[in-house]
């Protein structure tokens, strides 16, 4: 007796799920997962906290919030969009009036402290 397509599909699906469970890597625990690099929480300095807030954030979120601030206040140079013209808050962080977007992360690093466990 031939198996119907529906029964065949269910059997194949069950077999595939069983195989996936057997070969899958164990999922990291939500609270105990190791976080490092760009996802590790960092603490912003007082000057940087004026822009991104006082809470510990991953480095990627800090950069994202700085870019939001730059775009909100129209601080990119009109002729060369790679240059960022700092206002008073950004000049405290950058240490100078204008920086390129490529050196911005170097200046941000000086204002970020890795969280100690």
What CATH number does residue 62 fall under?
Answer: 1.10.245.10
The CA-CA-CA angle for residues 53, 54, 58, to 5°, reads: 80
CA dist., res. 109 & res. 20, Å (int): 41
Average pLDDT value for residue range 14-43: 66
Q: Which of 5-9, 30-34, 47-51, 88-92 has the lowest mean pLDDT?
A: 30-34
**Residue 34 domain-assigned (yes or no):** no
CA dist., res. 49 & res. 74, Å (int): 20
**Residue 25 domain-assigned (yes or no):** no
Q: Residue 26 pLDDT > 60, yes or no?
A: no
- Rg (C-alpha) for the chain, rounded Å, is 24
CA dist., res. 49 & res. 59, Å (int): 13
What per-residue confidence (pLDDT) applies to 21?
Answer: 63
**Residue 12 domain-assigned (yes or no):** no
**Residue 8 domain-assigned (yes or no):** no
DSSP 58: E
**Residue 21 domain-assigned (yes or no):** no
**Residue 14 domain-assigned (yes or no):** no
pLDDT tens digits for range 48-83: 999 999 999 999 999 999 999 999 999 999 999 999
Q: What is the span of the domain harbouring residue 61?
A: 39-114
**Residue 106 domain-assigned (yes or no):** yes
Q: How many structural domains are present in the chain?
A: 1
What per-residue confidence (pLDDT) applies to 51?
Answer: 95
Tell me if 68 sits within 8 A of 84, measured CB to CB. no
Please enumerate, as own/partner, the contacts of 64-67 that have beta carbons within 8 Å and a separation of 24 or more: 66/104, 66/108
**Residue 87 domain-assigned (yes or no):** yes
């Amino acid at each position: 007796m031939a198996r119907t397509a529906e029964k065949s599909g269910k059997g194949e699906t069950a077999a595939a799920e069983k195989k996936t469970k057997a070969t899958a890597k164990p999922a990291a625990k939500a609270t105990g997962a190791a976080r490092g690099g760009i996802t590790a929480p960092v603490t912003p300095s007082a000057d940087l906290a004026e822009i991104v807030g006082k809470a510990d954030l991953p480095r990627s979120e800090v950069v994202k919030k700085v870019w939001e601030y730059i775009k909100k206040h129209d601080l990119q140079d009109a002729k060369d969009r790679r240059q960022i013209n700092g206002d008073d808050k950004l000049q405290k962080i950058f240490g100078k009036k204008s920086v390129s977007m490529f050196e911005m992360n170097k200046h941000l690093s000086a204002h970020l402290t890795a969280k100690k466990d």
